[in-house]
Amino acid sequence: MNSPEKANQGSRRFRYIKLCIFFSGLSVFAQLYLFQPMLPMAAEQFNVTVGDTSLLVSSSTIGMALGLLFFAFKADSYSRKRLMAFSLISSALLTIISTWIPSLSLLIGIGVLKGFVVSGVSAVALAYLTEEVYLAAVPAAISMYLSGNTIGGMSGRILATIAAGEFGWRNAVLIIGVESLILGLIFWKLFPESKFFNPQKTDYHQKVKQMKGFLMNSYMLRLYFIAALLMGVFVSVYNYLTFRLEAKPFSLSHFIIAFIFLMYTFGVFGTMITGKLSKRFSKNNILKSFILLMLCGIGLLLSENIYVVIFGLGVFTLSFFAAHTMASQMTALHAKHGKSSATSIYWLFYYFGSSILGSGTGYLLHSFSWNVFISVLIIAIILALLLSTANTSSHSTT
């Protein structure tokens, strides 16, 4: 009897994996950040501060972080496909339900639950790809997943902003929920079952030992903190840029601001560029270069010229996604054993960074000014740059 072959580029199985993994990223990130462009509307409706409404975004990312911690132990007990399909469909139903929730605190509670269930996708997606796809085709499959994340984040925000402007923010939430449900059902129908993974009982002792090992490894720990800092900065900028652009001296309309999220297309280029560059340069040098470029981009957001701000946002977005793609690949490749544990911790730091910095900087902006807000984010990026520089010397000795 022939042993099954891993999916390779050009095969029907690989095409289905790529399409469905793209759809999963699309659905997860359209839902996770759908409230981001609508924070000013929510602040007005619920009569609360900028920092308080940012909890609509942070609640989902906190739920995501908690879910990833749970699935770090439990993910291997479930079928990969069933776990991902359940996550996509149940999160879409929670998004649809949240359309009719009257109070902000309840909406935040549902956000935590939604983040928790949707984390099932992120917990196993990279593990599934490394298990089921032929090694040479893995970077293409991972890029497809991250592109889905990027385009999902972008299209969700643009669709939400335009729909909210036309039909009110609650109907915008409903539209994203229905779209995500359709994507979840397509995924359930078409995504290939695992051939190289069988659910097994979790050896908790082994899992804790693995995770402790990664957290004690200075190279991995620096990558985790880089992920937390960069993601926290990225979410902070996109959370509050809407408030900045609505105010003087820009005074842009809601409709125009929606298209600021088209900058996410630069994120897709960022994920693609890293694949090309990693064939020619060392991974850590690529990571450092893009963190440096991210620093240049965010500096331009201090300008009061809209064209300079848009250019800066494009540079900032491209370099963030390139750095994140590189850091997540470095994490997965450095972990010889327990890849799912290593990537789970990566995502855990990533989403905690998003939640803590994403909300904390909102209160900072409310109390001080845009310039103070950007200055704090610049310090966070410099810290990430110092960590990546330390990784060069440590990795050369390992």
pLDDT digits (tens, 9 = 90+) for 363-388: 899 899 999 999 999 999 999 999 99
Residue with tokens 């902000």: 104
The pLDDT value given to residue 1: 44
Domain count, the chain: 1
Question: Is 268 part of a structural domain of the chain?
Answer: yes
Are the beta carbons of 61 and 357 closer than 8 angstroms?
no
Question: Is 322 part of a structural domain of the chain?
Answer: yes
Mean pLDDT estimate for the chain:
89
Question: Is 165 part of a structural domain of the chain?
Answer: yes
H or E element that contains 15: helix 12-32
Confidence of residue 398 (pLDDT cuts 50, 70, 90): very low
Ramachandran region of residue 282, left (φ > 0), alpha (ψ -120 to 50) or beta?
A: beta
pLDDT digits (tens, 9 = 90+) for 310-347: 999 999 999 999 999 899 889 988 887 777 788 888 98
Question: Is 3 part of a structural domain of the chain?
Answer: no
Tell me which residue range forms the domain holding 256.
12-397
The two structure tokens encoding residue 199: 């659910």
Beta-strand ranges (E) seen in the chain are none
Given a cut of 80, whether residue 275 has pLDDT beyond it is no
Question: Is 197 part of a structural domain of the chain?
Answer: yes
Question: Is 1 part of a structural domain of the chain?
Answer: no
Question: Is 286 part of a structural domain of the chain?
Answer: yes
Instruction: Give start and end residues of each alpha helix (H) in 33-137.
Output: 39-46, 50-53, 55-74, 80-97, 104-132
The SS3 assignment for 7 reads strand
pLDDT digits (tens, 9 = 90+) for 69-108: 888 888 888 999 999 999 999 999 999 999 999 999 999 9
CATH number at residue 137: 1.20.1250.20
Query: pTM for this one?
Result: 0.85
Residue with tokens 């659905």: 27
Most confidently predicted of 10-14, 52-56, 94-98, 249-253: 94-98
Question: Is 47 part of a structural domain of the chain?
Answer: yes
Q: Could you give the CA distance from residue 350 to residue 60 in angstroms, rounded to a whole number?
A: 13
* Percentage of the chain modeled with pLDDT above 70: 97
Ramachandran region of residue 251, left (φ > 0), alpha (ψ -120 to 50) or beta?
A: left
User: Distances in Å between the alpha carbon of 56 and those of 158, 260, 266, 327, 387?
Assistant: 17, 20, 25, 27, 30
